Amino acid sequence: MTTVTGLRTCSKCGTEKPLDDFYVNRCAQNGSSKKPWAGPRPECIACHKTINAERYQRKREQYDATKRRWSEKNPDRHDFSKAQTGARTRGATEFMSFPEWLDISKATECHWCGLALHRSFRNIDHIRPLAFGGQHTADNVVMTCANCNMRREWERKTKGGR
Radius of gyration of the chain (CA): 24
Q: What is the CATH number of the domain that holds 120?
A: 1.10.30.50
CB 23 within 8 A of CB 41: yes
Q: What is residue 95's three-state secondary structure? A: strand
What share of the chain has pLDDT > 90, as a percent? 65
Domain that holds residue 125: 75-159
Amino acid occupying residue 58: R
Q: What is the CATH number of the domain that holds 51?
A: 3.30.60
Tell whether 54 and 84 lie within a shared domain.
no
pTM assigned to the model: 0.66
pLDDT value for 71: 95
Q: Is residue 2 part of a domain?
A: no
User: What's the pLDDT tens digit per position in 65-83?
Assistant: 999 999 999 999 999 999 9
pLDDT value for 1: 47
Q: At residue 134, what are phi and psi to the nearest 5 degrees?
A: -70, 160
CA dist 67 and 61 (Å) reads: 10
Q: Is residue 41 part of a domain?
A: yes
Tell whether 52 and 79 lie within a shared domain.
no
Tell whether 21 and 83 lie within a shared domain.
no
User: What's the pLDDT tens digit per position in 90-108?
Assistant: 999 999 999 999 999 999 9
Q: At residue 27, what are phi and psi to the nearest 5 degrees?
A: -65, -35
pLDDT value for 121: 87
CB 131 within 8 A of CB 90: yes
Gap between the terminal Cα atoms of the chain: 44
Q: Where are the beta strands (DSSP E) in the chain?
A: 7-9, 16-18, 22-24, 40-44, 122-126, 141-145
Q: What is residue 154's three-state secondary structure? A: helix
pLDDT value for 35: 59
Residues of the chain with pLDDT under 50: 1
C-alpha distances in angstroms, 139 versus 26, 97, 112, 113, 126? 42, 12, 15, 19, 9
